Amino acid sequence: MNLKSLASRKANGEAIPGKELATFIMAYVDGQITDDDMTPFLKSVHSNGMTIEETIAFTEVMLNSGDRVQISGIDAYLADKHSTGGVGDKVSIVLAPLMAAAGLAIPMLAGRSLGHTGGTIDKLETIPGFEMNLTIEQFKSNVENHGICIMGQTDSICPADRKMYALRDVTGTIDSIPLICGSIMSKKIAEGIQGLVLDIKTGNGAFMNTMDRAVPLGETLQKVGEAFNVNTDVVYTSMNQPLGRTAGMWCEIEESMNALKGSGAQDLMDVIYELGSKLLVQAGVTRSETAAISIQENLIESGKAYEKFEEMLSAQSGDISNLTNINSPQFEKIITAQSNGFITSMDTLNIGWAAVDLGCGRRNKSDILDPTAGIEFKAKVGDQVAIGDPIFRCFNSNENNLNSAIKCLVDTITIDQEKVVHTLFYNP
């Protein structure tokens, strides 16, 4: 077999058999196939797509390129959640301990910031001492003993994805549905989970910015999950404005802790409860999503959800005992409304890039994150404002970066005279 011919065959619309695909990708992992050889293949997939059979085969190759987590000795439903990326999306930080408190077991491999979106790992690393770089054995032990563990991807899990993802980032193939599916689902299946809920973001701040793009992704992810016997639910949520009250680093951890204590922003909690309900029904905890919401509310009101968060932190050496002085920013500025009326839209994409400029993400791999950086949203879509009212509070510990972010934020809101209602959930 001429491995290098796969790119031209895919460019001609040919479906590649699974065995050939496996040989090709493993040759890339082993260094027999170079980035220069892989690039035409990725671009061909980006242009021509894959059949569902190819996508499943591709996912299996990615999965089998490394180790799988085998969790045993625990009588609990193994589940996880994944979001396609958003601004202010700290759902995982709240949902994971909430589900663990409900009796599910949550083995979560989380990611870092991508483009204008924040990364769960980056945020959690603002907690002093919190250890994200665990061995697979440590990961398994924490899930078996505490019902929860969140860590970064290891070198041994889906190495094909790790190597290919870096190349996708520089070849303009990030938004290819088959490549997205292979990347997401291989890592989730490697966790050994029984169930999964997917939060597919759509809107001006999402990678899939319309439902016409979001739905095919959601449907394909669901088909791949079911092909590997993983119960997979899909929820479509809006990224036409940031989620919650903050976007950034430590500030999102603080907001997540407040949410677990019962003071979460309404839109944030609505998304959490919707995703959590899917998992609780999957697990057989209840048959009713309405009852599932009540279960989650009670776990927060009783303090059990926050206790599970603290248990997770303790198991991974995190220390939040000195909250007053943790990650305090040195600089801050307020952006105010320039007219009277209602906020009718927010440019979430550029708000996300402003957060990156503050120090919440990376434009280059070498960029250093600022744990103190973030944006607080004083008003959002539907809120009435008057001239001079605060809209954004921006903060970090680098004044030059702060000024750069301010320039990016100035024109990210629209104020008009008629009130609009922000739609949070979408039906396909």
Q: Scanning the structure block, which residue is given the tokens 């677990």?
A: 260
Q: Scanning the structure block, which residue is given the tokens 């601004």?
A: 87
User: What phi-psi label fits residue 369: left (phi over 0), alpha (psi between -120 and 50 degrees) or beta?
Assistant: beta
Nearest Cα neighbor of 149 from 126, 128, 132 is 132
Helices (H), 172-288: 177-190, 211-227, 250-260, 266-282
The span from the CA of 155 to the CA of 167, in Å, is 16
Phi, psi torsion values for 394, nearest 5 degrees: -105, 140
378 in catalytic set: no
CA dist 245 to 189, 192, 385, 413, Å?
32, 34, 17, 16
Which of the residues 116, 123, 146, 168 is marked catalytic? 168
82 in catalytic set: yes
Which of the residues 10, 46, 82, 308 is marked catalytic? 82
Which of the residues 90, 146, 162, 187 is marked catalytic? 187
Token pair of 64, please? 């089998």
146 in catalytic set: no
Token pair of 386, please? 């008057």
The span from the CA of 170 to the CA of 132, in Å, is 26
The span from the CA of 175 to the CA of 178, in Å, is 9
Which of the residues 65, 83, 113, 183 is marked catalytic? 183
Helices (H), 334-393: 348-355
Residue type, 152: G
The pairing of beta strand 413-416 with beta strand 374-377:
unpaired
The span from the CA of 189 to the CA of 398, in Å, is 40
Which of the residues 161, 233, 267, 347 is marked catalytic? 161
Residues 6+ apart with CB under 8 A from 30: none
The span from the CA of 411 to the CA of 392, in Å, is 12
187 in catalytic set: yes
Nearest Cα neighbor of 412 from 366, 377, 365 is 377
168 in catalytic set: yes
Residue type, 107: P
Catalytic residue annotation: 82, 161, 168, 183, 187
